[in-house]
Structure 1
Amino acid sequence: MKTRLKPSVLFIISFILFTSCQNDNDNQDHPHSSLFFIDYRNLEGGKDGIAVIELDPESTDFGSISSKLELGIGVLPHHIYYNYDAKKLYTTALGGSYLYQIKTDKDHNGSPILISAKAINTGENTVGENIFFTSDGRYFMTFMGGSGGLKDGSIGVFNADNQLIKTIKAPIETNPNKFIMYPHGISIDEKKGLMMVSSTIHPDLTSGFGNTCTLLDMNTYELKETYQVADSSTDLSSPVEVLLLRGEFPQYALATTMLGGDIWIAPFNESTGKYNAFTKVFDGSSQGLGWALEMYIDTNGKLYVSFAEPGKVLVFDLSNLPHLKLLKTLNADKGAHHMAFFKTKSGKEVVAIQNNLLNLPNLNSGTISVVDIHTGETLGTVNLRTRYGMLPESIEGTNGPGNYMHH
């Protein structure tokens, strides 16, 4: 009889192999694992960019920025990513050139420093959002603006040399049953050969709203199905992130709805090779929550979901899907958004929560909260608005991805 490791054990082993920095804060191999990259928006009329910030509340340098790289006025860098083997760093952007590869180095003390940014040609694709890197060297990027049309949106496919090799477009006007519009979230299951993107909102945040997710073949780029992720066809829920659970996780798709404020779920159907219909698994409004945004999984296999209103992170158990069991609620600030996990100097397991969503009123605290994931205690808060005149837009580890799985 074969002995099978429990999923939680496999999560931890895989995470350690992929990015050891998250579990090595107490030794000298990774002395700067509490330093993080953040994208930022300049509030004082200057250039937006990316910075390195210390986030260990036990450090005397807590909240200090040690390196900064300006990208340009109006660039609005948005999401930071490592490529598949975590050797290259990228940031997407809502303006500017929409996609940049970031060159980093280390100073004489071994601390990460930002050197330069290389703009990548995205062709006709505008308003860069999310990226997914695959093992064959490709990466897929959602462009919420597409080529600028009223109901536009596209997926760019790039090779390892940062060359755009394909633009996937499927206008709703051509086929109202299978389409790509305002794509934001993206997730891929390479074993299944499937990719899913969400339909969120027009880049101007007023001209159009989505309420679907679309499934594609990641190799042929063929659209397989567009799913309603809303209470009705007229409910403009704006799905923002999608996560195809894979590997040892139960085989489901999860989606958060920005304006719906909910979490939705769809089971994978082996016979059809697609997912079944989405159903609501968590109603945020019934809990006084709105603007469900990001989904992260930590080394313990727990799902963390940020709710920008009123600024909370909910932690769920994934072991009994489709039942999503709420384990705890962590306090953050209005605009709770991206997250990164690490250990403090004394070994406390914490999550850093970036609190700002596009500088929207009442969702733009401009802080980063550091919260103990076991006790729920807020150990420290950095106010970048008052301290630096900037708003944090996203966050990522400097020694590799600051999470086990994001999308």
Structure 2
Amino acid sequence: MKLKFNTVLLFAVLVIFTNCQNDNHNGEQPHDSSFYIDYRSLNGLSDGIAVIELDPEAPNFGNISSKLELGIGVLPHHLYYSNNAKKLYTTALGGSYLYEVKTGVDQNGLPKLISSTPIDTGENTVGENLFFTNDGRYFMTFMGGAGGPKDGSIGVFNANNNHLIKTIKAPIQDNPNKFIMYPHGISINEDKGLMMVTSTIHPDLTTGVGNTCTLLDLNTYEIKETYQVADSPTDMSAPVETLLLRGKFPQYALATTMLGGDIWIAPYNATTKKYDAFSKVFDGSTQGLGWTLEMYIDDTNKLYVSFADPGKVLVFDLSNLPQLKLLKTFNADKGAHHMAFFKTKSGKEVVAVQNNLLNIPNLNSGTINIIDINTGQNLGTVNLRTRYGILPESIEGTNGPSNYMHH
């Protein structure tokens, strides 16, 4: 009996310990304020991934403690965790376009980057966004497709072995009403069996620009509809990110337009099992804003949207959709882009804002701002351009996803 009791007690302790280890929002892990960043070198050296301390209250604020070089011109672009947060990936605009990253901890229990493994993406080039589903697949947008002037594709991968299962292509030349071109953003609603990708811009930033989002069946990969997300057919708004709200949220699709500077919304239609037409729900030009980029939802169900020009983060209330109520505006630096949420050592709730978009002039500050989400105060800024000769490309937590919902 005693042995059985001790076994149960040991099991309970292990369960509690495991749950604590897997909780991304408990604020108690020793490296909750350490983050992975993708970076590009400004000095002709290798691009790569780094671990950086972002708590302004920490004595080593802004210090890089670990680096992993991926190669010259690789341009790592977006960091992602697998569904169970056991694997870390980065997409890339060059090099092998997709890498699995091996991580560990150093002698102090702090995160450490160990190695990277290139993943075969077939003919698909210029890796952008990932989305992991619960059935063992993950999907990746390739803005360059096979390299044509109006190309673009979606890769379907086996999450267990990283093998490419299928390449989804739908050239605009074959059907101008239902197509995939320059896909960047991706979002999936598994309950509805739907996937949406944006049509943004040709990778060379000059050959062509998109102004649509395309809805696909998650299982058959059939295109259900291509939506205009622009003021007119000739308005090249460049939708960059899309978010299919799901779970506890009202069932809408959101999209940001990079060149339009706006936020668009479309309601889900239970009869057609698609989304209705997109309409503009926030006009950035009325606020002096442009280059709308990322959308994040935090633990309090607020929507955070970055505007690279002039460098702002706007916080919206999601409780009265399709209306978006603006709650707060945070000042960041030019190129405001990706975000990560955490608590400082003293318990302040903050958002880290990575400020750089593809090293485009006036959108490439190369900084990370730490902003108090309650007061809006900038608690500290790390300038990676001047301090390390690199530009941050994206940011992700070292304990798992640093947001409630991204796309």
Separation in structure 2 between the aligned mates of residue 226 and residue 296 of structure 1, nearest angstrom: 24
What does residue range 19-168 of structure 1 map to in structure 2 within 5 Å? Answer: 20-24=23-27, 27=28, 30-160=29-159, 161-168=161-168
Q: What secondary structure does 2:25 align onto?
A: helix
Q: What secondary structure does 1:385 align onto?
A: helix
Counterpart of 2:352 in structure 1: which amino acid? A
- The equivalent of 1:314 in structure 2 is 314
What does residue range 4-403 of structure 1 map to in structure 2 within 5 Å? Answer: 20-24=23-27, 27=28, 30-160=29-159, 161-403=161-403
Separation in structure 1 between the aligned mates of residue 323 and residue 239 of structure 2, nearest angstrom: 20
Separation in structure 2 between the aligned mates of residue 42 and residue 310 of structure 1, nearest angstrom: 24
Counterpart of 1:23 in structure 2: which amino acid? N
Question: How far 1:23 sits from its partner (Å)?
Answer: 2.8
**Taking structure 2 as the reference length, what is the TM-score of the superposition?**
0.94
Separation in structure 2 between the aligned mates of residue 245 and residue 17 of structure 1, nearest angstrom: 28
Equivalent residues of 1:19, 1:401 under 8 A apart:
no
Question: How far 1:255 sits from its partner (Å)?
Answer: 0.1
- The CA deviation string for residues 251-280 of structure 1, in whole angstroms up to 9 with x for no partner, is 000000000000000000000000000000
Counterpart of 1:36 in structure 2: which amino acid? F
- The equivalent of 1:6 in structure 2 is none
Separation in structure 2 between the aligned mates of residue 19 and residue 357 of structure 1, nearest angstrom: 32
**Taking structure 1 as the reference length, what is the TM-score of the superposition?**
0.94
Separation in structure 1 between the aligned mates of residue 105 and residue 334 of structure 2, nearest angstrom: 34
Question: How far 1:108 sits from its partner (Å)?
Answer: 1.2
- Max Rg structure: 2
- The CA deviation string for residues 38-62 of structure 1, in whole angstroms up to 9 with x for no partner, is 0000001100000000000000000
Q: What secondary structure does 1:387 align onto?
A: helix
Equivalent residues of 1:366, 1:390 under 8 A apart:
yes
Unaligned stretches of 5+ residues in structure 1: 1-15
Separation in structure 1 between the aligned mates of residue 136 and residue 293 of structure 2, nearest angstrom: 28
Q: What secondary structure does 1:162 align onto?
A: coil
Evaluate the alpha carbon distance shift between residue 330 and residue 18 of structure 1 in structure 2; reply closer, same or farther with a 3 A threshold.
Answer: farther
- The CA deviation string for residues 164-190 of structure 1, in whole angstroms up to 9 with x for no partner, is 000000000000000000000000000
Evaluate the alpha carbon distance shift between residue 192 and residue 18 of structure 1 in structure 2; reply closer, same or farther with a 3 A threshold.
Answer: farther
Counterpart of 2:202 in structure 1: which amino acid? H
- The CA deviation string for residues 186-229 of structure 1, in whole angstroms up to 9 with x for no partner, is 00000000000000000000000000000000100000000000
Separation in structure 2 between the aligned mates of residue 54 and residue 169 of structure 1, nearest angstrom: 41
Question: How far 1:137 sits from its partner (Å)?
Answer: 1.0
Counterpart of 1:47 in structure 2: which amino acid? S
Separation in structure 2 between the aligned mates of residue 90 and residue 32 of structure 1, nearest angstrom: 19
Separation in structure 2 between the aligned mates of residue 404 and residue 321 of structure 1, nearest angstrom: 19
Q: What secondary structure does 1:21 align onto?
A: coil
Counterpart of 1:370 in structure 2: which amino acid? I
Separation in structure 2 between the aligned mates of residue 309 and residue 300 of structure 1, nearest angstrom: 26
Q: What secondary structure does 1:23 align onto?
A: coil
Question: How far 1:375 sits from its partner (Å)?
Answer: 0.3
Counterpart of 1:152 in structure 2: which amino acid? D
Question: How far 1:19 sits from its partner (Å)?
Answer: 5.8
Question: How far 1:336 sits from its partner (Å)?
Answer: 0.1
Equivalent residues of 1:23, 1:342 under 8 A apart:
no
- The CA deviation string for residues 330-373 of structure 1, in whole angstroms up to 9 with x for no partner, is 11000000000000000000000000000000000000000000
Equivalent residues of 1:100, 1:119 under 8 A apart:
yes
Evaluate the alpha carbon distance shift between residue 246 and residue 137 of structure 1 in structure 2; reply closer, same or farther with a 3 A threshold.
Answer: same
Separation in structure 1 between the aligned mates of residue 72 and residue 254 of structure 2, nearest angstrom: 35
Counterpart of 1:117 in structure 2: which amino acid? S
Counterpart of 1:102 in structure 2: which amino acid? V
- The CA deviation string for residues 109-163 of structure 1, in whole angstroms up to 9 with x for no partner, is 1001000000000000000000000001100000000000000000000002100
Counterpart of 1:135 in structure 2: which amino acid? N
Separation in structure 2 between the aligned mates of residue 184 and residue 137 of structure 1, nearest angstrom: 22
Q: What secondary structure does 2:364 align onto?
A: coil
CA RMSD of aligned residues (A): 1.0
- The equivalent of 1:4 in structure 2 is none
Counterpart of 1:157 in structure 2: which amino acid? V
Unaligned stretches of 5+ residues in structure 2: 1-18
Question: How far 1:17 sits from its partner (Å)?
Answer: 9.2
- The CA deviation string for residues 62-102 of structure 1, in whole angstroms up to 9 with x for no partner, is 00000000000000000000001110000000000000000
Separation in structure 1 between the aligned mates of residue 51 and residue 20 of structure 2, nearest angstrom: 24
Q: Percent identity?
A: 79
Question: How far 1:22 sits from its partner (Å)?
Answer: 2.5
Question: How far 1:18 sits from its partner (Å)?
Answer: 11
Equivalent residues of 1:314, 1:326 under 8 A apart:
yes
Number of residue pairs the alignment of both structures matches: 388
Question: How far 1:389 sits from its partner (Å)?
Answer: 0.1
Separation in structure 2 between the aligned mates of residue 74 and residue 281 of structure 1, nearest angstrom: 38
Q: What secondary structure does 2:170 align onto?
A: coil
